[in-house]
């Protein structure tokens, strides 16, 4: 990996991104909204009449705008998406043109455990400069420790309350969920190519981590915000295991004032796929 100072100098190539109601609806379908097309709560996210935009659409609105890992000269075959965060500054409209600006913000040298690399991207209106969202991503570069960076500074994970979950949502994914979700931007062949998935140690192509992240956002909005996307202020989570398309995901949630803690698991396989989840809501 490049020296620490050079890593922090890596910036996103500034680019414009646009979306229309089509992309907003396609994203909602990609995270399984309106699987029951008669559901009056979820239909507004996939129907252009008074269209609502999911808050987690922020993660795909400027797909490819993250700071380039290639410039960090890491072994990309051993990089995993470790954490994702988003802070929402205003409602996402059904169509807009935005400018993405950001870069690397920090890196932690874990020695034999690799490197944690942090990036941040701001999504701003192309004309007014008003901020829509700030995205934070953490990558674990498993083969790139011992690069001379700081050994500490990792923020403590959000702690899940030590009590039974107050609300649980079961969300069934479709066998073709990854093929639908990838149309929102992430064309990584790991999510479509059977041979590549098996060479990577999976029985079949896996679901995108950000799709599972969107499913958790969907559960929070449904469970605690009356399907009002404007209520969500921020969401962070750690990815802990892959989801296979066709899995049923159980999102367990705890509410403490304006904070909803959450984790997600696949009960049939006995694995937790999202840990340390935290969503912040604003009052009605």
Per the DSSP assignment, residues forming a β-bridge with 262 are 253, 277
Active site residue 186: yes
Per the DSSP assignment, residues forming a β-bridge with 279 are 235, 260
Coil vs helix vs strand at 158: coil
109, 144, 186, 252: the catalytic one is: 186
* Cα atoms in the Cβ-side hemisphere of radius 13 Å centred on 174: 14
C-alpha 55/C-alpha 221 separation (Å) is 9
On whether the CB atoms of residues 118 and 137 are closer than 8 A, the answer is: yes
Burial of 208 (0-12, 13-18, 19+ CB in 10 A): buried
Burial of 280 (0-12, 13-18, 19+ CB in 10 A): middle
Active site residue 191: yes
109, 191, 247, 252: the catalytic one is: 191
C-alpha 90/C-alpha 131 separation (Å) is 7
The catalytic residues are 186, 191
């Amino acid at each position: 990996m490049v020296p620490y100072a050079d890593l922090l100098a890596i910036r996103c190539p500034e680019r414009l991104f646009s979306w229309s109601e089509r992309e907003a609806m396609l994203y909602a379908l990609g995270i399984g909204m309106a699987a029951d097309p008669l559901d009056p709560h979820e239909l507004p996210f996939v129907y252009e009449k008074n269209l609502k935009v999911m808050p987690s659409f922020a993660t795909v609105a400027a797909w490819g705008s993250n700071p380039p890992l290639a410039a960090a000269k890491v072994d990309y075959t051993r990089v995993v998406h470790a954490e994702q965060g988003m802070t929402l500054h205003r409602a996402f409209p059904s169509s807009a043109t935005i400018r993405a600006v950001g870069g690397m913000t920090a890196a932690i040298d874990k020695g034999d455990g690799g490197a944690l690399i942090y990036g941040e991207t701001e999504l701003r209106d192309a004309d007014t400069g008003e901020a829509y969202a700030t995205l934070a991503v953490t990558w674990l570069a498993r083969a790139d420790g011992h690069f001379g960076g700081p050994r500490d500074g990792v923020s403590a994970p959000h702690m899940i309350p030590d009590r039974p979950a107050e609300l649980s949502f079961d969300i069934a994914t479709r066998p073709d969920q990854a093929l639908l979700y990838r149309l929102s931007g992430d064309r990584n062949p790991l999510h479509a190519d059977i041979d590549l998935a098996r060479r990577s140690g999976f029985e079949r192509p896996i679901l995108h981590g950000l799709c599972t992240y969107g499913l958790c956002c969907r559960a929070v909005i449904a469970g605690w915000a009356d399907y009002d996307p404007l209520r969500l202020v921020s969401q962070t989570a750690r990815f802990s295991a892959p989801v296979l398309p066709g899995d049923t995901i159980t999102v367990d949630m705890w509410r403490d004032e304006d904070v909803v803690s959450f984790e997600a698991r696949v009960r049939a396989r006995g694995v937790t796929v999202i840990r340390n989840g935290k969503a912040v809501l604003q009052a009605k």
